[in-house]
Every structure is written in structure tokens, then in C-alpha cells.
Amino acid sequence: MQIATLKVFCDLVESRSFSRAAVRNLITQSAVSQQVKNLESRFETQLLSRDGKSVTPTAAGRVFYERSRTILDSFDHMQLEMKAIGQDMAGSVRVGTIYSVGLYEMSVVIKTFLKIYPKVNLHVEYSPGAQVYEDCLSGAIDLGVVTYPEPRKGLRIIALPSDKMVLICAPDHPLARRHHVNIKKLDEENFIAFEKGMASQRALDRIFQEHDIRVRVVMEFNNIETIKRSVEIGAGISIVPLPSVQKEIQSGALVQVGFADKSFYRSLGIVVRSKQVLSPAANKFIELMQNSQKV
């Protein structure tokens, strides 16, 4: 059995498509099908369940996939280590994250990483939070950078420095004259919120509940950029991570108001598959993210 066969099977399980697995491995669909038949004959059991054009692993197929993925990750890790001996860092790192983190938390890290390790192929894609978890579990990405990381079966969390959350308002808003405000003062204020179900909004809802606050949600959006624009025109106030509004605060488009009673933070973390062996390049990227406040 060859490493290439294990990769074909893993790509087939992850993509759930014979055609996509064939494209990934530069072979024909019939070749993919033949390799699966050979594996099933070798182990004398069915590894895949076919439903039209989609395929899913059987119980035996799931075991074979997980063991094969571990072998492939270890093999890739070994290759990168061998290439790194006496050479510059090389290889590839696939990172998935949500838009706000990629734009504000990772931009400096990405530039620094590419400058230090120019031979590494760094691929960053932006997806909704739930998709980042799914892509990490399926092996479509190596690292997932998320807010308010949640424990998931098959994943482990690597903690990152948290973001300070700040109250923002338009320059002509009554709260703009205050340097600090008790969070209780937000009761009954018009509020620009994240969409229901988003991790950031769930965290804010917990804060409001703990302090017995009922804001008037006048608008809901799925990204910080639209929230900022709505606050700028005076539609309401909002609470967002400080890195996302530093430019607007410096220009005077928005006013930052501190909380008098306590500080609030948005937790960040990197999710990776539990049994994944990270490449040297991936570990270097994680190190930069963990020290991002120093970059």
C-alpha cells in the first residue's frame, strides 16, 4: 500500500466526490474507483457508502480514514523537516478564519510571516465561524483562527491573546462626552448588534444578561464593517474589539468610551485537529499569532 493511495482515499472522504478526488490527485475517476476497490478487497470490507454522486465512509471507512490521515500528516511533517535541514523554511500552511480576525488581528502577522519565510506558501481563506470548524475537522485547512473558541470533538484549541472590547458611538452622541461609563448606563440605548447566533453576539448577550441590561437592538449585521458605518451615522452604539476601530477612533469618525466598572475581552484561539502533527511552518505561524501584540 502506497502513501498516494492513502491520500486518494482521504481526499475522497473529505471532498465526498470521486471527480474532486481525481482532480486533486491528477488522476482519472476510474483510477480513484479502482484504488477504492483494491482497498476494500484488501481489508475484505466496504469502506464507502455511495448515494448518487456523493460518498460517505462506513464505520470501517471512518477508521481507515482517521488512521490514514494521521499517517499522511506525519509523512508531510517528516518531509518538511527533511527539507528544512540546512535550508530555509518551506512547505505550505492553510489557514481559515473569519473576516474581522483576518483583517484586523492577522494582517500584520501575515506580512511578517511572509517576510521571514518567503518560501512558505501561505493560503488564507475567510469563512463563517461554523465553516472554519468544519474545514478544520475535514482537513481542508491546517489551522482555524476563531473568536470565542468552543471545544469540539476531534479538535484542540491553542489560546491566543484576547482583544479588549470597547464601547463606540458617533462623535455627537451624548455618551461621546464621557471618558468612562458604567455599563448599566447602556440600558434602553439603541444598539447595533451582530446577527443572532454569531459567537460575538452570544458573548454580548451574556454580558447584558449578567448586568440586567436591555438594549434596544435597532440593527443586526454579520460583520464589523457594517456595524461601524451604522454607528458613525448615529443609528446607535455598539461594543466591538478595539483593534477593529483604532483607525476610525484616530480619525475622529468614532469615539471610544471606556467602561468604568470592569473590562471586557473577546477571546481568540486557533483550532487544529486533535491528532494532527503540525508542520514547522504551521508552528511558526502559531508562534507569531501568540506573540502578535509584540509584532
Convert the pLDDT of each residue in 192-246 to its tens digit: 999 988 888 999 999 999 999 999 999 999 889 999 999 999 999 999 999 899 8
pLDDT of residue 84 exceeding 90, the answer is no
pLDDT tens digit string along 105-139? 888 899 889 988 898 999 999 988 889 999 998 88
The domains spanning 3-83 and 162-266 adopt the same CATH topology: no
Q: Name the grid cell of 234.
A: 448615529
For 3-83, CATH gives 1.10.10.10
Are 175 and 257 contacting, i.e. CB atoms less than 8 angstroms apart? Answer: yes
Domain boundaries, the chain: 3-83, 88-160+268-294, 162-266
- CATH code of the region 162-266: 3.40.190.290
Tell whether the model's pLDDT for residue 294 goes beyond 50.
no
Helices in 85-223 by DSSP H: which ranges?
99-100, 107-116, 129-138, 199-210
- pTM of the prediction? 0.67
Query: 138 or 171, which is more confident?
Result: 171
Q: What gap in Å lies between CA 135 and CA 152, rounded to an integer? A: 13
Is 250 in contact with 241 (CB distance < 8 Å)? no
State the CB neighbour count (10 A cutoff) for residue 143. 23
Q: Are 149 and 269 in contact, with CB atoms under 8 Å apart?
A: yes
Q: Which amino acid is at 21?
A: A
The fold of the 88-160+268-294 domain, in CATH, is D-Maltodextrin-Binding Protein; domain 2 (3.40.190)
Report the SS3 class of residue 12.
helix
Section 57-81 average pLDDT: 83
CA–centroid distance for 18 within its chain: 27
CB-neighbour burial class of residue 162 (10 A; exposed 0-12, middle 13-18, buried 19+)? middle
